Amino acid sequence: MNELIEKLASYISKDILKQPSRVIQPDEAIISSGLIDSFSLVDLGLFIEDNFGVRIDDTELNKETFDTLEQLASLIQSRQ
């Protein structure tokens, strides 16, 4: 679980936000806080699909489905 969260956090800070030094906490709100936007969510969805073999549907890319890395990691694990 921790490794999964680390990989997700690293992708968001390096590739999406382009701020490699930005630390994202596992329980930090990433969608409702506006940290990542709708397009970046699609980008993140594709990263998850390619790296973890889990598809997150277009209608699930929202804060109601997951808002923190912890929640996202749980969602991925539940579908693996």
Partner 1 sequence: MNLISHEFLLLFLPFTFAAYYWFTKTPRQKTFFLLVVSYLFYSLAGLKFVPVLFGLSLATYALAKWNKFGWGVLINLAALILFKYWNFGVENLNLIFSAFGAKMNLLNFGLPLGLSFFIFKHIGYLLDVQQKRCAPAADFWTFAAFSAYFPQISAGPISGYKDTAGQFDALPNKLSGERLYAGLIFLSMGMAKKSLIANSIGLLLAGKFNSIEGFSGFFPAWYLVIAYTAQLYFDFSGYTDMALGVSMLFGVSLPPNFNNPYLATDPAGFWNRWHISLSTWFRNYLFNPLSRGFLKSWGSPKREQAQYAANLITMSLIGLWHGAGWGYILWGAYHGLLLNFHAWWKRLNRPLPVYIGRPILLFSVVLGWALFMSPNFAYLNHLFLQLFGFGGLGSLDALKALSLESATPALIFGLALAFSGFSEAAALTDESNGRRVWQMALWGALAILSLLFLQKNIQFLYVQF
Q: Given the rule CB under 8 A, which residues bind partner 1?
A: 15, 17-19, 34, 37-39, 41-43, 45-46, 57-59, 61-62
Cβ-based nearer residue to partner 1, 29 or 42: 42
- Using CA atoms, how far residue 80 sits from 16, 31, 51, 77, in Å, is 24, 23, 11, 5
Q: Answer yes or no: are the C-beta atoms of 80 and 53 closer than 8 Å.
A: yes
Smallest separation (angstroms) from partner 1 to the CB of 37: 5
Smallest separation (angstroms) from partner 1 to the CB of 2: 26
Cβ-based nearer residue to partner 1, 51 or 62: 62
Q: Answer yes or no: are the C-beta atoms of 39 and 64 closer than 8 Å.
A: no
Cβ-based nearer residue to partner 1, 1 or 79: 79
The pair phi, psi for residue 23, each rounded to 5°, is -95, 125
Smallest separation (angstroms) from partner 1 to the CB of 6: 20
CA atoms within 13 A on the CB side of 28: 14
